[in-house]
């Protein structure tokens, strides 16, 4: 996603923003029931009476958060005073693969680790560089944190992903953004012009709207210059109406299934081919990139677009709603929910949420029980106290953020430069935590809520590897690109009519297997957590 300015990236941190065996004697350190006003000087039985030094690898956002957090920044100082710790920030760009690899290869470690490098943290665990912790200690010391995570993905998914080869290495994390589906938006002014009064509820309804958007001069300019839909980013609700997202791996009855070889996928391709032949989708979707697609949307070249609700929100820089209004002052947008398919299926696209990525907490191999619990206390305090989280994430009211007329947080852009964030210590370096469906409404303006509400009401159909795995699929790392090439070629040829779907189907599957698909599936079978 191309960043246009710091406001965009700040919001993305909130979006994307956007990624444990027993602790031994950990029970000896009693955590306070309420840490809000505890300091090292208060009482002799203060659970934080012993000062601890914590080596800290926090989350930093490329192009926004400087990699070097200053020693005297305000948030660091407040955390140190509140929890009687000395924090030693590590200067490492967690998006720089070479830096990350070198850090660990040189024998370094850390106590608190928020890691989003593409290296697998579980590879580090297998090398003995991370320590195990227990599920019990997490739930005991971080109840509010875990409550937020479970509210987003459900207890079953949390339970599945907490364990790696029977052991727990991390405190899981996710956020509202990565668990919300992509949605579809339609030109409401076009609907009004052609007499469509309701949002589509079924595939047939959607087809009728797309056909009218193409042939009934919806922009009333007297020219045949519009299409119903553009498919560069995929077809979202249309796939969902068949219950399948292309190029994904599902676990059904204990067996791994590749979605792009299913009968549902074949039927979906046939429908898209039919619509393509009728001319209701922009034929250039095959070659257009996302930037061209957005340019065409802003110019009124087609009437239905899919994307994440965040990209439709007016607070997002270069958002899809505003870019349309800039060129079409009278344009109106309707966000509508997933449509129902021939067998009652429906849903919006969302990536399968990994709970061991951005925001999840790992601990170095030498991190003591005392430090583990102190770190948990620090992070739990942010999940349990919204005002404290706002202080650590956004900074000071009137200095780094203000409140709008509805009491929602609005940042002061000039205070969110890399140098100032390193100075203040705000944003994700210390304060990254799970943002749930209640939390995000506290900083999302009322005007921006409609696309999110649509997304929340959609049934989710997941994309990617849609089941937890214990390990890395080494075969996939080598052969995934070859499989994807075969898949993409058939996908575009099938939709555009260059191949007969039924006649070529068996040969297509043979090509996938020759590229390594069955080998990838076999390895997923071995590492799937069933």
**How confident is the model over 440-460, as a mean pLDDT?**
92
**How many CA within 13 A on the CB side of residue 99?**
12
Going by their DSSP bridges, the two strands 348-351 and 460-463 should be labelled as parallel
* CA-to-CA separations, 524 to 162, 203, 405, 481, in angstroms, rounded: 18, 33, 51, 16
Question: Exposure string (b/e) for 431-457, b if CB count within 10 Å is 16 or more?
Answer: bbbbbbeebbbebbbeebbbbbebbbe
- Closest by CA position to 379, among listed 99, 50, 113: 113
Q: What is the pLDDT, as a whole number, of residue 116?
A: 60
pLDDT tier, 416 (very low <50, low <70, confident <90, very high otherwise): confident
| H-helix or E-strand spanning residue 350 | strand 348-351
Q: What is the pLDDT, as a whole number, of residue 92?
A: 78
Largest CA distance in the chain: 82
Beta bridge partners of 85: 52
**How many CA within 13 A on the CB side of residue 242?**
20
**For residue range 482-514, what is the model confidence (pLDDT) as tens digits?**
999 999 999 999 999 999 999 999 999 999 999
**How confident is the model over 190-214, as a mean pLDDT?**
97
User: How many CB atoms are closer than 10 A to CB 71?
Assistant: 10
**How many CA within 13 A on the CB side of residue 299?**
11
**For residue range 327-385, what is the model confidence (pLDDT) as tens digits?**
999 999 999 999 999 999 999 999 998 888 878 999 999 999 999 999 999 999 999 99
Helices marked H in 84-174: 97-105, 121-126, 135-141, 143-153, 155-162
**For residue range 240-285, what is the model confidence (pLDDT) as tens digits?**
999 988 999 999 888 999 999 999 999 999 999 999 999 999 999 9
pLDDT(239) > 70: yes
pLDDT tier, 172 (very low <50, low <70, confident <90, very high otherwise): very high
Helices marked H in 54-142: 74-83, 97-105, 121-126, 135-141
Helices marked H in 117-232: 121-126, 135-141, 143-153, 155-162, 188-194, 203-215
Residue 440 DSSP one-character state: G
- Closest by CA position to 185, among listed 78, 325, 287: 325
Q: What is the pLDDT, as a whole number, of residue 67?
A: 57
pLDDT tier, 123 (very low <50, low <70, confident <90, very high otherwise): confident
């Amino acid at each position: 996603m191309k960043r246009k300015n710091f406001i965009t990236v700040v919001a993305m941190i909130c979006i994307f923003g956007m990624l444990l065996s027993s602790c031994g004697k950990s029970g000896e350190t009693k955590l306070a029931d309420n840490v809000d006003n505890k300091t090292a000087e208060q009482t002799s039985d203060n659970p934080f009476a012993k000062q601890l030094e914590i080596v800290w690898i926090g989350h930093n956002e490329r192009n926004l958060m400087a990699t070097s957090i200053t020693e005297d920044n305000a948030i660091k100082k407040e955390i140190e005073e509140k929890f009687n710790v000395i924090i030693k920030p590590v200067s490492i760009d967690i998006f720089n693969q070479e830096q990350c690899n070198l850090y660990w290869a040189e024998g370094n470690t850390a106590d608190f680790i928020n890691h989003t490098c593409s290296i697998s943290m579980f590879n580090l665990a297998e090398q003995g560089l991370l320590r195990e912790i227990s599920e019990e200690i997490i739930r005991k010391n971080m109840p509010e944190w875990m409550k937020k995570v479970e509210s987003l993905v459900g207890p079953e998914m949390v339970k599945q992903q907490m364990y790696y080869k029977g052991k727990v290495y991390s405190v899981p994390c996710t956020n509202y953004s990565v668990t919300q589906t992509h949605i579809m938006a339609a030109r409401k002014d076009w609907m009004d012009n052609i007499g469509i009064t309701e949002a589509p509820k079924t595939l047939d309804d959607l087809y009728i709207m797309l056909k009218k958007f193409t042939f009934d001069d919806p922009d009333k300019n007297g020219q045949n210059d519009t299409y119903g839909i553009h498919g560069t980013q995929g077809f979202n609700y249309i796939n969902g109406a068949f219950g399948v997202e292309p190029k994904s791996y599902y676990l059904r009855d204990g067996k791994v299934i590749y979605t792009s070889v299913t009968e549902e996928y074949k039927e979906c391709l046939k429908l898209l081919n039919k619509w393509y032949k009728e001319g209701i989708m922009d034929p250039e979707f095959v070659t257009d990139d996302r930037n061209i697609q957005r340019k065409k949307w802003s110019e009124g070249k087609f009437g239905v677009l899919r994307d994440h609700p965040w990209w439709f929100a007016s607070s997002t820089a270069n958002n899809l709603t505003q870019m349309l209004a800039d060129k079409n002052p009278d344009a109106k947008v309707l966000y509508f929910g997933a449509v129902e398919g021939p067998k009652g299926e429906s849903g919006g696209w969302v990536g399968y949420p990994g709970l061991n990525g951005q925001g999840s907490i790992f601990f170095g191999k030498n991190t003591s029980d005392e430090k583990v619990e102190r770190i948990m206390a620090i992070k739990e305090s942010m999940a349990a106290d919204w005002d404290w989280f706002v202080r650590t994430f956004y900074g000071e009211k009137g200095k780094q953020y203000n409140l709008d007329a509805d009491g929602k947080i609005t940042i002061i852009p000039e205070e969110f430069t890399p140098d100032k964030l390193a100075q203040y210590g705000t944003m994700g370096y210390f304060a990254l935590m799970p943002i749930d469906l209640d939390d995000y409404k506290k900083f999302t303006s009322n005007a921006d809520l409609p696309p999110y509400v649509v997304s929340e009401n959609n049934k989710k159909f997941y994309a990617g590897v849609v089941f937890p795995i214990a390990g890395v699929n080494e075969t996939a790392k080598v052969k995934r690109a070859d499989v994807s090439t075969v898949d993409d070629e058939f996908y575009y040829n099938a939709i555009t009519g260059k191949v007969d779907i039924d006649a070529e189907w068996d040969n297509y599957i043979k090509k996938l297997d020759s590229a390594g698909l069955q080998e990838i599936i076999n390895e997923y079978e071995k590492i799937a957590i069933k």
